[in-house]
Amino acid sequence: MSEAVASPLASSTALSLVPKAVGVQSMKDFKSDQEVRWCPGCGDYAILAAVQSFMPELGLARENVVFVSGIGCSSRFPYYMNTYGMHSIHGRAPAIATGLAASRRDLSVWVVTGDGDALSIGGNHLIHALRRNVNLKILLFNNRIYGLTKGQYSPTSEVGKITKSTPMGSLDAPFNPLSLAIGAEASFVARTIDSDRKHLQSVLRAAAAHEGTALVEIYQNCNIFNDGAFDVLKDKSTAESALIRLEHGAPIRFGPEGAARGVVRDPRTGDLAVVDVTPENEADLLVHDAHSPSPTHAFALSRLTDGTAFGAGAATPMGVFRDVARPVYETDMAEQLESAVTRQGQGDLAKLLAGNDTWTVVG
């Protein structure tokens, strides 16, 4: 038996109540015996592998990790994790996970959901989990299509999307998931992509260390019904000028050598704009501050793309947009329970049942 690995993550406040693993864990420990049944080539495989190989880094007792999902392709995820898991019903995973996390602070609770599950049928539960700041890590697989029901447009599909249910093009304006989350008072918001394991795991690391709800949007390719939706961000020739890697404390710049671009704030409107970096404007580049108490900065960054048009001069930020400390729901709930005992004393059932107003009948 080897010594427990002292993971810096495991000792973070967010995970302090979760029992630690004894011995070294490997990716294999987190693979269940179930056959993975996604379509060959699905982006979900890459995300599953990234999560399975990341989990040992947390150093948590496997039995104290729970994955909860809703319905959709991504929601099969818990079956493939050798932890506790629940594959529930469409859209309700954040609600179910809230009850579990609120009643069991010794668990590390993860929610796996998709764009239809989280933003359409389950939109209400998502925004309320975010505002409450329950200690959940929500992985939102966004492929911008309904896969399991065979290819209808989703709430993140671009306007005019031709699908089986929209032969003349979809009419609804899409959600920008990160703008929505920030508007719902999310304390942690990040974006990553299925094909970049290193980046994906760096975001998972930050999410795991965050106390409260973490929303991680993962761009995920559905090679059957919406293939290539994120190619611009994946193709080396285009990605460099289309993708912004956010780093806390660093000026926001991207693009190839010699054609550097950056993000500045228009002093008149307060909006952000992408500009070519010149010696004159270099000092004006916006410095990324993920810990800014005000959501304005993160929100403005989330508006750089509407999440549907990635090419043609648009730039898509990736990484941690927002990571701020806010009261955590179940911590406060536990404190209320403790303070109730302090104030009223441990509950006495006989006293409760009798109340203050009794009379006696003598037999």
Q: Which residues bind other proteins (CB under 8 A)?
A: 19, 32, 34, 61-64, 66, 68, 71, 78-79, 81-89, 92, 95-104, 106-107, 124-125, 128, 333, 336-337, 340-341, 343-347, 349-350, 352-355, 357-363
**Which DSSP helix (H) or strand (E) runs through 178?**
helix 177-183
Q: How far is the CB of 53 from other proteins (least distance, A)?
A: 18
Report CA dihedral (304, 308, 311, 312) to the nearest 10 degrees.
-70
Judged by CB, which is closer to other proteins: 120, or 238? Answer: 120
Judged by CB, which is closer to other proteins: 64, or 192? Answer: 64
Judged by CB, which is closer to other proteins: 68, or 216? Answer: 68
Closest by CA to 264, choosing from 287, 248, 242, 280, is: 287
Q: How far is the CB of 128 from other proteins (least distance, A)?
A: 4
Q: How far is the CB of 361 from other proteins (least distance, A)?
A: 5
Closest by CA to 70, choosing from 84, 55, 85, is: 85
Tokens coding 180: 């929505």
Q: How far is the CB of 103 from other proteins (least distance, A)?
A: 4
Q: How far is the CB of 32 from other proteins (least distance, A)?
A: 7
Judged by CB, which is closer to other proteins: 93, or 301? Answer: 93
Judged by CB, which is closer to other proteins: 112, or 229? Answer: 112
Q: How far is the CB of 347 from other proteins (least distance, A)?
A: 3
Judged by CB, which is closer to other proteins: 99, or 293? Answer: 99
For residue 244, the cross-strand partners are 317
Q: How far is the CB of 336 from other proteins (least distance, A)?
A: 6
Q: Is 140 helix (H, G, I), strand (E, B) or coil?
A: strand
Q: Which residues contact 154 (CB under 8 A, 6 or more apart)?
A: 114, 115, 116, 119, 120, 143, 144, 145, 146
Report CA dihedral (342, 346, 349, 351) to the nearest 10 degrees.
-60
In this structure, are residues 200 and 208 in contact, taking their beta carbons and an 8 Å threshold? Answer: no
Q: How far is the CB of 90 from other proteins (least distance, A)?
A: 8
Q: How far is the CB of 183 from other proteins (least distance, A)?
A: 15
Judged by CB, which is closer to other proteins: 276, or 348? Answer: 348
121: left (phi over 0), alpha (psi -120 to 50) or beta: alpha
Report CA dihedral (305, 306, 311, 313) to the nearest 10 degrees.
-40
Q: Where are the beta strands (DSSP E) in 145-304?
A: 188-193, 214-219, 243-245, 253-254, 261-265, 272-276
Judged by CB, which is closer to other proteins: 68, or 290? Answer: 68
Q: Which residues contact 60 (CB under 8 A, 6 or more apart)?
A: 10, 15, 18, 19, 20, 21, 108
Closest by CA to 142, choosing from 166, 175, 168, 110, is: 175
Judged by CB, which is closer to other proteins: 283, or 350? Answer: 350
Q: Is 106 helix (H, G, I), strand (E, B) or coil?
A: coil
